[in-house]
A = this chain, B = another copy of it.
Amino acid sequence: MSLRERKAAKKKEDILRSASLVISRKGYHNATMEDIAAELLMTKGSLYYYFKNKEELLYRCHDLILSEAMKKMEEILSQEISSAKKMEMAIKFHLEVAIREKEIFNLIVKPEQIFSKEHLGEIVEKRAEYAEVFDRIIDEGVSKGEFSIEQKKMARMIILGATNWVQVWHSPEGEYSNEKIEEIYAAYLLKMLV
């Protein structure tokens, strides 16, 4: 990759980070292209040099975050540790991401209200892949006898629902540190599984 290309790639990522921030703060519909551009001291026209339109921009935000998260999850999956430990790590990491990327994770809630057909399929698929990580840990735990769960899908839904929800109430000024929250969530949700 040439210097130029690397610069452009960097810029694209900068935009994505900024956009994530603004969208998280205001919500997708309330975040205008102008807002996003202003955050970067750009003009909205410039955004269109890098991204086809607002949806595309959002799609890339989502993709970036999800891809990074997925990589980490796979690393967790491949470690030689107990299923319980894996689940603990997965829950903690998922909480981290959910807290950091509030809206981006949240807006995936109803992708069909935001994304056109062009992206919808891929998004749903990637999300499913991500969710599967939890399925696999549960499966593994059950087969190893660590977990005693019959309704694996539902257990996964409960875990993801509970953890995704933190974005709703979480505030940096809250009583608990992020680590503490992660600790408690992991402990309680594991209690449900064993």
Contact = CB atoms under 8 A, between A and B. Distances in A.
Given A188-B151, A189-B158, A30 B166 contact: no
B162 A26 contact: no
A120 interface: no
Interface residues of A, number: 32
Contacts of A155: 188
16 contacts: A26-B113, A30-B113, A106-B109, A110-B168, A151-B184, A154-B176, A154-B185, A157-B165, A157-B166, A157-B169, A159-B162, A160-B165, A161-B165, A161-B166, A189-B192, A192-B192
- Each complex incorporates copies of this chain amounting to 4
A52 interface: no
B184 A188 contact: no
Interface of A is mostly: helix
A191 interface: yes
Contacts of A160: 165
B161 A163 contact: yes
A109 B149 CA distance: 30
A32 interface: no
A55 to B, nearest CB: 13
A4 B160 CA distance: 49
A168 to B, nearest CB: 5
Contacts of A169: 157
Most chain B beta carbons < 10 A, residue from A155, A162, A168, A189: A162
Contacts of A164: 161, 165
A1 B19 CA distance: 32
